[in-house]
Amino acid sequence: MFMEETETLSRARLSVLQSQRLEDLLNRLRTLDSPYWKAKLAGVKAFSAVEEIAALPFTEKAEFRDTYPYGMLTAPLEKVVRVHASSGTSGKPTIVAYTQDDVALFAEVNARALAAVGATAADVVQISYGYGLFTGGLGLHYGVERLGATAVPASGGNPGFQVALMADIGATGLAATPSFALILAERAAADGLTEKLKLDWGIHGAEPWSEGLRDKLENAWGREYHARDIYGLSEIIGPGVAIECRDGKGGMHVFEDHFFPEIVNPATGEPVADGEPGELVLTTLTKQAQPVLRYRTRDITRFMPGDCPCGRTSRRIARLEGRADDMLIIRGINVYPRTIETVLMDDPDTGANYAIIVDRRGELPELEARVELAHTGLVGSEDQVATRLAERLMETVRLRVKVDVGPPGSVPRTEVGKAKRVFEQTDDTDPLAS
């Protein structure tokens, strides 16, 4: 562990620490001469236990847009040393600001995340997340340096160059979106580099991905490879909010000493019963430039029961089940793209790339899934695989899904940024063609 004492605090001591930090934060926020914070805290009574956090108002994504660019800041601009931005779905991006302390915290939680997947100072880590305004590249980068490992800031794109570099420099770790990691693995195999690679583990986040996709990714390098999930979002800090450790597949430890998690019913905002799925809500306890109270992440997850074999005492959230915003409503049935992915990826004969098309040309929307065969030896079995997948999708999502199975490489890949998986079809042009 990178910070063993902190990461193994008893639950009682952790709660005291969280309460103290929350109280300090609220005291600081109350002194600010800020219209945003005065309005946010109006009517909030003083309290001193983190268990009472539900007395605080939620924060919604729209507030970042409404206060763009600096309305939520709690530190003067001369204390801000960096900003990142996430692309908004419409209009202005979301700006997030960091003080010197925030940048140090960002490095610390990423160093802790890297150590949790098994990284040490001896590792050489290729960072194939995009650098720039997106938090992924720089977040992992400073985490690698803080850990004392070697950072290779490869950024996204250019897979041929990237796999040759990985082989030459002896990269042992990879940080990339799961979809780009698969592109790299395919390219390494195609370029005959598999034997030369020293990769041992990968940190893969920024897109939700299923256990079936993990199996494909872990088997794609032709050597033992440990693929682990990382969770984060720029509104909170970026990557490094939660990490799936080497020993505890399936759940992600939240760095609760800095980010307080709750899970609520996305419709009512009320807490769900322990272990039930709901929307993750996060409060930053220690951020300086731009703290956030009870941020509605729109990510659907649940708390995992039991202790983790790794010895960390922080609560774990399940790997994401979907986004409240991504939920598709097809013929009155709620469907998460992630559920469809799970069915497509669990089939041994499918490759790791897929696309979901919502065909809105008719009166009622229709779903189509496009997937490719795992290898050329399977060519000829397309119809068989398609029938099997359509039957499983009917059982799982209770919807008729048109399944189109093509040869390996037939589904377009995303080489830069987050993979686009869901496409809308509104006219007769193929939505995947552009």
| Minimum CB distance to Zn ion, residue 331 (Å) | 41
Angle between helices 135-147 and 100-116 (to 10 degrees): 70
Query: Which member of 245, 345, 385, 401 binds Zn ion (CB under 5 A)?
Result: 245
**Mask of contacts with Zn ion, 13-52, x by CB under 5 A?**
----------------------------------------
DSSP class of residue 130?
A: P
Tokens of 351: 């490759």
**Binding pattern to Zn ion, positions 118-157, x when CB under 5 A?**
----------------------------------------
14 CB-near residues (< 8 Å, 6+ apart): 256, 257, 313, 314
Does 272 help bind Zn ion (rule: CB under 5 A)?
Answer: no
Which residues does 369 contact at the CB level (< 8 Å), separation at least 6? 340, 344, 354, 355, 356, 357, 389, 393, 401, 402, 403, 404
Taking the C-alpha atoms of residue 368 and residue 379, their distance in angstroms, rounded to an integer, is 21
Q: Could you tell me the two tokens for 312?
A: 């960390």
**Residue 304 sits in the site that holds Zn ion (CB under 5 A):** no
* 56 makes contact with Zn ion (CB under 5 A): no
In whole angstroms, the minimum distance from the beta carbon of 9 to Zn ion comes to 14
Q: Which of 1, 26, 272, 310 binds Zn ion (CB under 5 A)?
A: 310
Min dist. Cβ of residue 360 to Zn ion (A): 43
Q: Which stretch binds Zn ion (CB under 5 A): 246-254, 337-345, 371-379, 392-400?
A: 246-254
Token reading at 378: 């399977």
Q: Does 351 bind Zn ion (CB under 5 A)?
A: no
CB atoms under 10 Å from CB of 169, counted, come to 14
Q: Which of 393, 412, 415, 413 is nearest to 402 (CA)?
A: 393
**DSSP characters for 187-256?**
HHHHTT-GGG----EEEEESS---HHHHHHHHHTTSS--EEEEEEEETTTTEEEEEE--SS-TTEEEE-T
Nearer Cβ to Zn ion (109/245)? 245
Sequence-ordered alpha helix ranges (H) in 148-234: 159-169, 178-190, 211-219
Which stretch in 17-25, 186-194, 305-313, 378-386 sits in contact with Zn ion by CB under 5 A? 305-313
Shortest spacing between CB 355 and Zn ion, in angstroms? 34
Rounded Cα distance, 159 and 214, in Å: 20
Q: Interacting stretch for Zn ion, rule CB under 5 A, among 125-133, 141-149, 208-216, 308-316?
A: 308-316
Rounded to a whole number of angstroms, the minimum distance from the CB of residue 244 to Zn ion is 8
CB nearer Zn ion, residue 234 or residue 314: 314
Minimum distance, C-beta of residue 326 to Zn ion, in the bound complex (Å): 27
The answer to whether residue 1 forms part of the interface with Zn ion (CB under 5 A) is no
| Interface pick for Zn ion out of 248, 266, 351, 417 (rule CB under 5 A) | 248
Give the C-alpha separation, 249 to 303, whole Å.
14
Closest CB to Zn ion among residues 305, 377: 305
Size of the site for Zn ion (CB under 5 A): 5
Spatial separation of the C-alpha atoms in residues 220 and 234, rounded to whole Å? 30
Query: Which CB sits closer to Zn ion, 308 or 320?
Result: 308
Cβ proximity to Zn ion, 154 vs 308, nearer residue: 308
Which residues lie across from 151 on neighbouring strands? 125
Q: DSSP state, 395?
A: H
Nearer to Zn ion, 187 or 249 (CB): 249
The enclosing H or E element of 346 equals helix 337-346
Determine if 308 is a binding residue for Zn ion (CB under 5 A).
Answer: yes
- Burial label for 425, CB within 10 Å (0-12, 13-18, 19+), is middle
Question: Judged by CB under 5 A, does residue 386 bind Zn ion?
Answer: no
Q: Does 242 contact Zn ion by CB under 5 A?
A: no
The answer to the question of residue 317 lying near Zn ion (CB under 5 A) is: no
CB under 5 A: which stretch of 307-315, 325-333, 347-355, 416-424 binds Zn ion? Answer: 307-315
**Are residues 182 and 159 in contact, defined by beta-carbon separation less than 8 angstroms?**
no
Asked if residue 319 lies in contact with residue 251, where contact means CB atoms within 8 angstroms, the answer is yes
Give the residues lining the site for Zn ion (CB under 5 A).
Answer: 245, 248, 308, 310, 312
